[in-house]
Amino acid sequence: MIDLHHPVRDPQSAGHESPTGPVPVVVVGAGGMGKTWIRTVLDNDAAVLVGIVDVMDGAAERAVSELVPEHQRSAVVTGTDSATVARQAAAEAVIDVTIPAAHHKVTADALHAGYPVLGEKPCAATLAEAVSLAGHAETTGRLFMVSQSRRNNPHLGETRRLADELGGAGIVDTRFYKAPRFGGFRDEMEHPLIVDMAIHAFDAGRVLIDGNPVAVTATAYNPVWSWYAGDAAATVTITYDTGAVHTFSGSWAAPGAETSWNGDWQISCERGSVHWDGEEPPTARPEGGEQHPGRAPAPEARWELDASLSEFCAALRGGPVPASEVHGNVWTQAIVEAAVRSAGTGRRVLLAEVLDEALDAARELDLADGRSRALSTWKTGISGLTTT
């Protein structure tokens, strides 16, 4: 069981512990996204920045001088080792913004040192590592939440509300067409669109649709003019146990009429349809009625990273378990893994299949690591995610 209210026991952290005050956090990973997280923490009253860590010598210190106001700098501990900085800084929680390959170790180490973790997506580099982290969270009883920031868009919540008024989302169709020239690792990935971008749409689809995903069929391809080495385009169909279906089609090599970064969404419900362009408030059109706009977000609404951080801190102060607590988030990574497998084999892939294989591999990882035996009680991959 996850004990969200269990405070860090380290005596050195006693000075910062307060069941009602802002949560003292260390940001681990001071790269591009780490800097965005540092700004987010500095601007959010629910948290206080007490440390920055990066394995690259000097990177944490550079982030402090670049981003932290001068009068706050002396209160921010820096270094290359997370455990040391977190202890010296009397942190209560860790934000893991390292590269995906480091997520498993950084997060598992923090959980076992007693720190709840808010981790950037993806949960881990592989589905097996993600399942293993669910086990580490169970073993330690600490909260591990994955920040899948695009699900925290108030327009998406409004889209869900409008769809519910019309009988609930039955078919969700996402179109995503962009033409970014990133350079770097995405240009070399085998499945840049599915793994690095469509994961957000798969996760947002889960916000709109009730139930759990069951199976995925995917085709991945690379337009002849594409500047990516791997497949920059894909069509993915995800079926849910409620009978709802989410289709995603998109390309990262699509110059011309581009969609928003959230994509363009059409939702078909029993009594009408909802459309969201990914940027403006959604619109609803009831059967036989006029199209009408959804509500604009409240001025105090929290968005994306800021919303993730608020939800995480609230959970540590007695609030509800976040929907993206690791067990909830692993489903999204399982959709990605199933889509990649389907694209490679040409067959429909069950989530039960990829999750059971991941569970076997995660048990091997945990056996070698020696710190977590929680997965030994999971009967199947799916039951482990649904019964904690």
Ligand X SMILES: NC(=O)c1ccc[n+]([C@@H]2O[C@H](COP(=O)([O-])OP(=O)(O)OC[C@H]3O[C@@H](n4cnc5c(N)ncnc54)[C@H](O)[C@@H]3O)[C@@H](O)[C@H]2O)c1
DSSP string for 211-277: S-EEEEEEEEE--TT---SS--EEEEEEEETTS-EEEEEEESS--SS---TT-EEEEEETTEEEEE-
Please state, in angstroms and as integers, the Cα–Cα distance from residue 91 to each residue in 25, 311, 356, following that order: 5, 18, 36
Q: Which is nearer to ligand X, 106 or 316 (CB)?
A: 106
**Binding-site member from 7, 21, 22, 100 for ligand X (CB under 6 A):** 100
**28 binding ligand X? (CB under 6 A):** yes
**54 binding ligand X? (CB under 6 A):** yes
**29 binding ligand X? (CB under 6 A):** yes
**223 binding ligand X? (CB under 6 A):** no
The footprint of ligand X on residues 225-284 (CB under 6 A) is: none
The window from 11-19, 92-100, 218-226, 333-341 that contacts ligand X (CB under 6 A) reads: 92-100
Task: Find, among 349, 159, 352, 170, the residue nearest to 243 by Cα.
Answer: 170
C-alpha to C-alpha distance for 187 and 106, rounded to whole angstroms: 26
Min separation Cβ 100 and ligand X, Å: 5
Q: Which is nearer to ligand X, 18 or 185 (CB)?
A: 185
The window from 5-13, 50-58, 295-303, 322-330 that contacts ligand X (CB under 6 A) reads: 50-58
Which residues partner with 218 through β-bridges? 236
Q: Are 6 and 32 in contact (CB under 8 A)?
A: no
Residue at 232: amino acid letter: A
Q: How many CA atoms lie within 13 A of 213 on its CB side?
A: 36
**329 binding ligand X? (CB under 6 A):** no
**Binding-site member from 121, 178, 191, 206 for ligand X (CB under 6 A):** 121
**33 binding ligand X? (CB under 6 A):** yes
**83 binding ligand X? (CB under 6 A):** no
Min separation Cβ 295 and ligand X, Å: 25
Site string for ligand X, 185-204 (x = CB under 6 A): --------------------
DSSP string for 75-138: G-EEES-HHHHHHHTT-SEEEE-S-HHHHHHHHHHHHHTT--EEEESSSSSSHHHHHHHHHHHH
**Binding-site member from 42, 99, 171, 321 for ligand X (CB under 6 A):** 99
Count of Cβ atoms closer than 10 Å to residue 275 Cβ: 17
**56 binding ligand X? (CB under 6 A):** yes
Residue ranges binding ligand X (CB under 6 A): 28-34, 53-56, 59, 97-100, 102, 106, 120-121, 149
